[in-house]
Structure 1
């Protein structure tokens, strides 16, 4: 189970699980299993993710700060508490305006529900 197992059954402040680093992007995998994974990111201000795609259904939850999330060419200004759902294979990118933390939940599509 490793590090992710150490979080089971514990109440934690989400933002405290990853720290900012100057001019960097830091990530911490909170859970990984065959259905998908959950990753917490901390971006310093001015960091970017170039446009890419993912085979997963994705939920992006802004935890701290502010960023522009570009989904299929449309810009969404995200701030703490905002959520965005993304279909599989949708082109997307990110540009941070301030130090920014986000939770990414990636699920394999085609599951029951």
Structure 2
């Protein structure tokens, strides 16, 4: 599947539009707009995203498995159905002690004064 948006006005099952790939993190864009984007991401066990600081708030929702979200050095363990908001301008990383899938929603408005 290409990394393009999901077709609008079509029904889909979020867990089925992205697969687990051994030793990988896979990202599939659901919507991409100038004001933000929504992606579904799968992590294989042991994988992680590099630590970063985003200028925007990010809403993380675990839809399968368990994830560790570290925000400014504080670890948060999330299971299926749980969510967290990563505040803008904070150090953060996401790790998989077991494989999991999540929805990531980035809101890119409201921070124009900080740029």
Same fold per superposition (TM over 0.5):
yes
Partner of 1:4: 5
Residue 69 of structure 1 and its aligned partner are, at CA, apart by 0.7
> Which residue matches 2:76?
76
Shift of 1:10: 2.4
Q: Tell me the TM-score normalised to structure 2 length.
A: 0.87
> Across the two proteins, how many residue pairs are aligned to each other?
109
What is the RMSD computed on CA atoms of the aligned residues?
1.6
Deviation at 1:50, TM superposition (A): 2.4
Distance 1:93 1:35, change over 3 A: same
Gaps of 5+ in 1: none
Q: Displacement, 1:13?
A: 1.3
Whichever structure has more strand as a proportion of its residues is 1
Offset from partner CA, 1:2-31 (integer Å, 9 cap, x none): 94251x222321111110100011110111
Using the size of structure 1 for normalisation, the TM-score is: 0.89
Unpaired runs of 5+ in structure 2? none
Q: Within 5 Å, give how 1:88-103 maps onto structure 2.
A: 88-103=88-103
Runs of 4+ more than 6 Å apart:
none
8 A Cα contact 1:67 1:100, kept in partner: yes
| 1:88–1:109 CA contact under 8 A, matched in 2 | no
| Distance (Å, rounded) in 1 between the aligned partners of 2:98 and 2:65 | 6
Q: CA deviation at 1:97?
A: 1.4
CA distance in 1, matches of 2:56, 2:66: 24
Moved more, 16-25 or 47-56: 47-56
Deviation at 1:72, TM superposition (A): 1.2
